Structure 1
Amino acid sequence: MTIRVAVADDHPTLLAGMEHLLTGFEGITVAGLVTDSTTLVELLGKSPCDVVVTDFSMPHGRYGDGLSLLRFLRRRFPDVQLVVLTGIENGDVLQNILDVGVSGILSKSDDLHHVEGAIRMALQGERYLSPEAERLLQQTSSASHGEVGQVRLTKREAEVLRLYAEGFTVTEIGLRVGRSSKTISAQKQAAMKKLGLSNDAEVFNYALAHGLVQASQLSKQIARKTDDDV
């Protein structure tokens, strides 16, 4: 049986490397190489495919990226197995990726030859984690061991946190939702306290891990915040 694999990543160099790598594996053929969610969905709609190996953060596509894209792919193409290849080093984000129902997670910090094992195990209905992905997940599991219950934000607290992670300032959020800056600031701080978040970076990671913002959108906001701090 030939395994048909589509690869999605917005970095042409990685796509070229993946194509070269996959053509060297017996019984695996490249169904297509795409750089965003729009062309990925078009490819899957036209060409038979068994496994998709996709980056987590891909800007510009009509269907978004991150958790929202993975959920969409699971609904639209339930028979296609998903393997995520990512440079994300946040265990909470990786856990939420697993919870979507992907077949494997590969860290870009690990050797790309792990791709073969992930693809073959996906076809067998088994899960594959590369060494670094597994380490990050175990680290997160150990840190959260013993926690009871789940923190719940109010609708307005969640809204403020989402907008802040999208890059809006407290003042801009207030104008957008019709509340004072003081109220918005209080709701942001209340949400952060409930979640145990102490700084903007942790807010960004929480928003990404829980699908409040797209992965590519969030990476831009982190870069912008970093530039502002320099």
Structure 2
Amino acid sequence: MTIRVAIADDHPTMLAGMEHLMAGFAGMTVIGLVTDSTQLVQLLGSQSCDVVITDFSMPKGRYGDGISLLRFLQRRFPLVRLVVLTGVESETVLRSILAIDVRVIVSKSDDYACLETAIHRARDKQDFLSPDIERILQAASASGALAPEAGGQLSKRETEVMRLFAEGLSVSQISERIGRSRKTVSAQKVTGMKKLGLQRDADIFRYAVAHGLVQASESARSGAKEADE
């Protein structure tokens, strides 16, 4: 049975390379190539799909990116399996992906040939981490390290709030996007800042970029600066 695959990445050259690579994988077909979450959701709503390969950081799109997008896809398309293909090397971010039960992660630093195995594992609801992802997680476990600035681990909900705030969203906008009250979002932001030892809103942006929660895009930087003023 042919595995139907959708690919999402905000770099067109990456998509072209992925399409060429996938042409050599037996028993698989690419149903679409998209550059943001809006296009991805439209594609999945119009065509049958078995596995989505998605970048973690795609700053544009109505449905966001990162953890927020992955959780949205899980809710909206529960039968579609997810493969995260990412250049993020933050142990904190990688564990946050695993924590929401996305169990297949491939590093952009690895040989993309391992994607064939990753797709099969995702389709069969099995775990798969590419060699570089395994290395990052094992190194962090061996050292017992948390994020350098952290006084304690963020919960997945605190991580989500901090990431969205770093992208320039206000507390009200975050509340609307993730379906929590403004009071809850505000409390999670404050708690997250305390755990990380952050003093100002601008510090959230710097932390998020340093740990791969967001890309250092001009829009995200402007949003964080405005929030700090």
Q: Normalising by structure 1, what TM-score?
A: 0.70
Question: Any unmatched runs of 5+ in structure 2?
Answer: 170-188, 223-229
- The structure with the largest alpha-carbon Rg is 1
What do the CA deviations read for 1:68-103 (whole angstroms, capped 9, x no partner)? Answer: 000000000111000000111101101101112213
Runs of 4+ in 1 over 6 A off after TM superposition: 160-164, 221-224
Checking the alignment, whether the CA contact within 8 Å between 1:37 and 1:69 is kept in structure 2 is: yes
Letter in 2 for 1:26: A
C-alpha RMSD of matched pairs (Å)? 3.6
What do the CA deviations read for 1:158-177 (whole angstroms, capped 9, x no partner)? Answer: 9x967873469xxxxxxxxx
Name the structure 1 match of 2:88. 88
Checking the alignment, whether the CA contact within 8 Å between 2:7 and 2:33 is kept in structure 1 is: yes
Checking the alignment, whether the CA contact within 8 Å between 1:165 and 1:221 is kept in structure 2 is: no
Letter in 2 for 1:195: L
Q: CA deviation at 1:128?
A: 0.8
Distance 1:86 1:55 in 2: 5
Letter in 2 for 1:204: A
Name the structure 1 match of 2:109. 109
Checking the alignment, whether the CA contact within 8 Å between 1:9 and 1:54 is kept in structure 2 is: yes
Checking the alignment, whether the CA contact within 8 Å between 1:3 and 1:27 is kept in structure 2 is: yes
Q: 1:203 aligns with which of 202, 207, 227?
A: 207
Checking the alignment, whether the CA contact within 8 Å between 1:22 and 1:29 is kept in structure 2 is: yes
Equivalences for 1:9-48 in 2 at 5 Å?
9-48=9-48
Count matched residues.
Answer: 194
Distance 1:104 1:152 in 2: 22
* Shift in CA distance, 103/197, structure 1 to aligned 2, threshold 3 Å: same
Q: Normalising by structure 2, what TM-score?
A: 0.71
SS, match of residue 33 in structure 2: strand
* Shift in CA distance, 222/132, structure 1 to aligned 2, threshold 3 Å: farther
Question: Any unmatched runs of 5+ in structure 1?
Answer: 169-186, 210-214, 225-230
Distance 1:73 1:3 in 2: 18
Q: How many percent identity over aligned positions? A: 56
